A and B are shown apart, each in its own frame.
Chain A
Amino acid sequence: MTEENFKLSAKDVNLWFGNKHVLKEVSVTFPEKKVTALIGPSGCGKSTLLRCFNRMHDLSPDARITGQFMLESQDLYDKHVSVTQARKRVGMVFQKANPFPKSIYENINYGLKINNIPAKDRPEIIERALKESYLWEEVKDDLKKPATRLSGGQQQRLCIARTVALRPEVILMDEPCSALDPISTRKVEELIVQLKEQYTIVIVTHNMQQAQRVADKTVFMYLGEVVEEGSTDDIFRHPKQELTQNYVGGHFG
C-alpha cells in the first residue's frame, strides 16, 4: 500500500497504566474509507491503542498518554476539542454488544438526542441507520421492543446502527464479533465491508480469517509495539518480519 490520504493517525505514542508501559513509540496511519485490522496476541496493546482514538482512557486516572493522535489535521487531544466532539467524529463499537436498557428505537434516538439533533429529523435518521446496519427488516415491526431481547448478533448490529446514526467519520471496532456465532459474525462482517464505502474503519480482531476477509490494511502489534504494517495481502502472504510470519502462521498467540 503506497502513501495515500490517511484519515486517522497516531505518532510517537506512549501509554502507561501506572508503571506499566503498554504502548511503546507507536506510530500508525489508517487510510480513508478503508478497513484496517489491528492484530496481535492478547495483551499486545491493540485494544488500548484503539481506545485512545476516542479518548476512552480519559476516565482512567492511572493512564498517562504522550504523543499525537490526529483526525485529518485535527489533534484529537487538543485542549480546544471537547471529548464529546471528538467522540462524535470517532465512533466506537465494543467487544460485547452493549445496548442501553431501552427500546430498539430509543437506543438510537438517545444518541441523536444528546447530540442535539432536531426531533423532527430523528425518525428518518433512525430508519436509515437501521437499514445501513441491515437490521431494519428484522426489527421494523417492533421498534418498541427492549433491545436486550434481541439476539447477540442483532444487538451488535444495533450498536453499529447507534454509531452510524451519528454520521461519524471513523468507526472503531473492538473485536465486534468475539461473542457472536458464525452466522451473526458473517452478517457483521458483510456490514463492515458495506460501511467502508462511507466510513474509515479500524477493527481489532483475534481472528486471522476475519482480518483477511474484511481488511484492506493490517497492522501487526506485539508487546506494545507496531511490528509491521502493510496491505492485508502483504502481511499475510509476504510478511517481512519473522515475528509477523510466525504469528499469522499460527505459531503463537
Chain B
Amino acid sequence: MKKLSPVIEWSTLLFCTGTVLLFLVAILWDLAVKGWPSLSWEFITALPSDGMTKGGILPAITGTVILTLLTAVLSVPLGISCAIYLNEYAKDNWLTRLIRASIRNLSGVPSIIYGLFGLALFVQGMHMGTSMLAAGFTLGLLSLPYIISTTEEALRRIPASTREAALGIGATQFESIRDVVLPSASPGILTGVVLTLSRAAGETAPILFTGVAFYINGSSGYLNQEFMALPYHLYMLSTQHQAIEQVRPLAYGTALVLVMVVFLLNLTAFYIRYKYSNND
C-alpha cells in the first residue's frame, strides 16, 4: 500500500495536467482547422466588403493593435509608478491597506461595469464621444488594478539586501529603486504587464459603449473616431450578422487572428524576459 501511493499521486497530477491540456489543444485545434482556410494575405490586408461576407479584417486588426498600444501608454506608466509608491514609499497604515484592498477589489469588477463607467465619464462627461481615445481610457482603467497588483508583487519579491546594497554605497532611495530594484523586478513586472494587455486586447464589453464600431469604411485607428476591433468583430460575425452561416469561416478566421495577436504579445514578453535573465 505504501508503495502504491507515489504512483497514485503521480497519476492524479498527470491526469489533471492532461485534462487541462486536452481542452487547450482542442480549442486551438478547432480554431486552427476552421479558421485556417479563411486566412490569406487578403484577409489580413483588405477591408471588409459585400456586407462583411467577403474581404478582410484589416480595420479590426489595426484597431485592436492601436487600442492595445493606447491602453499600454495610458495604464503602464501610471500603474507601475503607483505600485512603486505603495510598495517602496507609503507607510503601512490603515489608509494604504484600504487603498490596496480597493485596488484588489477593482480587479474583480466585471468589465461591463468599466464599460458603463467609461461611457459616463469619458464619452459623455469629458466629451470624448465614442472614440478610440475613450475606449483606450476605459481599457486603461480596467488594466490599472492588474498592473499595480502584479508590479507590487514583483517588487515585494526583491529582497531587502538588494536595496541595502545600493543604499550602502550612498545611493538615495530613488536611485536605489531606479537603478537596482526596478531592473531586478522587471521580468516580473513585464509578465504582469503583458498578461494584462493580452486580456485588454481581447475585451469586448468595455469598448462596446465607448468606441467600437460595427463597420468602418476606411482605416480604423484615429484617436477621435470610432474604430473596429477584433473581439467585437468576432462577436458581431458570430451572433449579429444576418447571414450567419455564410460568415462563419470569417468568424473563425478572425478568432484565429485574435489568438495570434495575443500570442505574439506573449512571445515578445517571453523574449524580453529571456534576454533579461541571461544578463543576470
Contact = CB atoms under 8 A, between A and B. Distances in A.
A94 B170 CA distance: 14
A114 B170 contact: yes
A207 interface: no
A163 B165 contact: no
Interface residues of B, number: 21
Contacts of B279: 101, 146
A126 to B, nearest CB: 13
B280 interface: yes
Contacts of A224: none
Contact of B184 (A96, A101, A162): A101
B280 A101 contact: yes
Nearest to B89: A59
A87 B170 CA distance: 5
B165 A94 contact: yes
A61 interface: yes
A159 interface: yes
Given A94-B161, A94-B164, A101-B280, A111 B184 contact: no
A16 interface: no
A89 to B, nearest CB: 9
B92 interface: yes
Contacts of A61: 91-92
Contacts of A163: 168-169
A100 B176 CA distance: 10
B142 to A, nearest CB: 32
Interface in A204-246: none
Given A61-B91, A100-B180, A146-B280, A114 B169 contact: yes
A166 interface: yes
A98 B163 CA distance: 9
A91 B167 CA distance: 10
Contacts of A92: 164, 168
B245 interface: no
B260 to A, nearest CB: 33
Contacts, number: 67
Interface in B158-195: 161-162, 164-173, 175, 179-180, 183-184
Contacts of A45: none
A54 B179 CA distance: 20
A84 interface: yes
B170 A84 contact: yes
A148 B184 CA distance: 12
A87 B169 contact: yes
A115 interface: yes
A166 B169 contact: yes
B166 to A, nearest CB: 7
A148 B180 contact: no
A111 B166 CA distance: 8
Contacts of A88: 169-170
Interface in A80-117: 84-85, 87-88, 91-96, 98-101, 110-111, 114-115
B173 A59 contact: yes
A211 B168 CA distance: 23
Contacts of B161: 94-96, 98
8 contacts: A61-B92, A84-B171, A94-B168, A96-B161, A111-B171, A114-B169, A115-B169, A166-B169
Interface of B: 91-92, 161-162, 164-173, 175, 179-180, 183-184, 279-280
Interface of A: 54, 56, 59, 61, 84-85, 87-88, 91-96, 98-101, 110-111, 114-115, 146, 148, 159, 162-163, 166
Q: Which 4 A-B pairs have the closest CB atoms?
A: A111-B169, A98-B165, A92-B168, A88-B170
